[in-house]
Amino acid sequence: MKYKLIFPALIIVAVFISSWQIPTNPNLGIFDGNGDIGNVGLEGSAEFNPSDNTYTVSGGGTNMWFNTDEFHFVWKKMSGDVSLSAIIEMVGEGVDPHRKACLMVRQSLEPDAPYVDVAVHGDGLTSMQYRDSKGGITKEVKSNIVGPKKVKLRKVGDHFSISTALEDEEELSIAAGSLRLEFTEPFFIGLGVCSHNNEVIETIKFKDVEIEKIMKNTDSPMKVESSLEILDISSLNRNVVFHTIDHIEAPNWTSDGKTLIYNSQGLLYKIPVEGGTPKMIPTDFANKINNDHGISPDGTQMVISDQTETGQSMIYSIPIEGGVPKKITPLAPSYWHGWSPDGKTLAYCAERNGNYDIYTIPFEGGKETRLTNAEGLDDGPDYSPDGKYIYFNSTRTGTMQIWRMKPDGSDQEQITTDKYNDWFAHPSPDGKWLVYVTFNTDVPAGDHPPNKDVMLRLMDLETKEVTVLAKLFGGQGTINVPSWSPDSQQIAFVSYTLL
């Protein structure tokens, strides 16, 4: 009987040790332990040199991707708000260009655990990788910075951000978009190395490694930075096109698929989808443009919502390359949101006699037509690509939900029915999907403020199945206007990072 009791216990221990190894080096500086995670073919190691505060970490493993990881991890168990920073030095040329040096927060030492990291690859690719559930698929927010020498991973509450510097002495700056992921305390924070080849060991040096507890200063002014991003709806991976300390909002995607247009501080800017330096679009007298702007179906015109003339927003047209605005709406305030597929009609939200409703007006100007008259707020109208429906959001049932109606305002029907507050629904160009931004229940139904935890969600219009595309820090300015790629595979949006 003794052997029958002991033998299963030995099996359990063996399985546990196959996921990670008990620390073998007691001299690990600020860290508690180290070991291989996952089914690593060659044993890794870690060595700390206190004279120059350098950790030399060697690791194998096939990858840190999909639903399981293989790498060597040097870790410390912690709780609360914290950051980890280091200077990274790749040793040798490396066998695989995708070998990884990582700064990581990880829920457990199991190979399929949730985690967030900043991963610098051998070829310079830098991204914030994450797994948001145990056994889930790894996703990434790809930075527009290549080959940084110094990196930092920062956790404040459920929010994660990464910072980079191209030189050792350069000041760190934010290098990717906003990411929100919940961890149970305590968690593991530390350094990881993956060779991306299970028959090879790669070595990476981490210099000037520092863990800092972040203390919140409620007296300091709020500082928010902006990231213009593109999200692929099939992989859910995100790519940062442009990051700035300025406040930017509401990207449109041009019909040729080459350019994004956004507003910032009352003006319009354009930038290639691959990134680069933004260029201002000339708009003559209009210098108080808000985040309700868009591009005509034929790609030759734009509409803007601007309040320069009267202090209240009115809708104007300009050529796509910029020019002198031509007024369309005679009354204010009016906020553009949708363009009919034939290019002849605009849909917009307007306040008349104290009530916000959906209106349409000919693009060439004329008399406006009121489509909704329910109590409360109706906002965010956008046409389906076949022109049969106008999607909009309304508070008429208590929370902000997505609705749709025919272009003449008839047959109004509710599309979403959950407890959250859903805003700004945009149908994809192929008519298969509906993307919208979702605020939590702590936000009043009639409000869409900035600097809030939000979700980007995707509805399959055939099955009505809803998928969470991303959880991020955003809100007003994230996705107010149509921002689908012409092929219906990607979405442009803005996330924000609170410092």
Cβ contacts of 10 within 8 Å, gap of 6 or more: none
Tokens of 353: 């006699």
Q: Alpha-carbon distance 290 to 63, whole Å?
A: 44
Residue ranges of alpha helices (H) inside 203-259 are: none
Task: Give the predicted TM-score (pTM) of the model.
Answer: 0.92
User: What does the pLDDT look like over 411-435, one tens digit per residue?
Assistant: 999 999 999 999 999 999 999 999 9
- Tell me what pLDDT residue 252 has: 98
Measured distance between the N- and C-terminal CA atoms of the chain, rounded to whole angstroms:
61
| Rounded CA Rg of the chain | 26
- Tell me what pLDDT residue 26 has: 55
Which residues lie across from 48 on neighbouring strands? 55
Rounding to the nearest 10 degrees, give the CA dihedral for residues 258, 225, 479, 337: -90
Give the DSSP letter string of 297-310: TTSSEEEEEE-TTT
Which residues lie across from 378 on neighbouring strands? 394
Burial class (CB in 10 A: 0-12, 13-18, 19+), 2: exposed
The answer to whether residues 115 and 238 touch, using CB atoms and an 8 Å cutoff, is no
H-helix or E-strand containing 10? helix 2-19
Q: Alpha-carbon distance 142 to 243, whole Å?
A: 12
User: What does the pLDDT look like over 297-309, one tens digit per residue?
Assistant: 999 999 999 999 9
Pairing of strands 238-244, 139-142: parallel
Among 159, 161, 203, CA closest to 59: 203
Q: Alpha-carbon distance 252 to 259, whole Å?
A: 8
Q: All domains of the chain, ordered by start, with CATH?
A: 23-213 (2.60.120.200), 224-498 (2.120.10.30)
Q: What angle do CA 106, 39, 104 make, to 5 degrees?
A: 20
Question: In one letter, which amino acid is 18?
Answer: S
Question: In one letter, which amino acid is 136?
Answer: G
Residue ranges of alpha helices (H) inside 384-491 are: none
Give the DSSP letter string of 400-469: -EEEEE-TTS-S-EE---SSSEEEEEEE-TTSSEEEEEEE-TTS-TT---SSEEEEEEEEETTT--EEEE
Torsion region of 498: left, alpha or beta (phi above 0 gives left; psi -120 to 50 gives alpha): beta
pLDDT in tens, the chain (499 residues): 333 333 333 333 333 333 444 444 558 999 999 999 999 999 999 999 999 999 999 999 999 999 999 999 999 999 999 999 999 999 999 999 999 999 999 999 999 999 999 999 999 999 999 999 999 999 999 999 999 999 999 999 999 999 999 999 899 999 988 899 999 999 999 999 999 999 999 999 999 999 999 987 766 777 899 999 999 999 999 999 999 999 999 999 999 999 999 999 999 999 999 999 999 999 999 999 999 999 999 999 999 999 999 999 999 999 999 999 999 999 999 999 999 999 999 999 999 999 999 999 999 999 999 999 999 999 999 999 999 999 999 999 999 999 999 999 999 999 999 999 999 999 999 999 999 999 999 999 999 999 999 999 999 999 999 999 999 999 999 999 999 999 999 999 999 998 8
**Sheet containing 259-264, strands listed edge to edge, beginning at the edge strand earlier in sequence:** 249-253, 259-264, 267-272, 279-281
Q: Alpha-carbon distance 281 to 304, whole Å?
A: 12
Question: Which residue do the tokens 């790894």 mark?
Answer: 138
Q: Alpha-carbon distance 377 to 127, whole Å?
A: 40
Cβ contacts of 255 within 8 Å, gap of 6 or more: 295, 297, 298, 299, 486
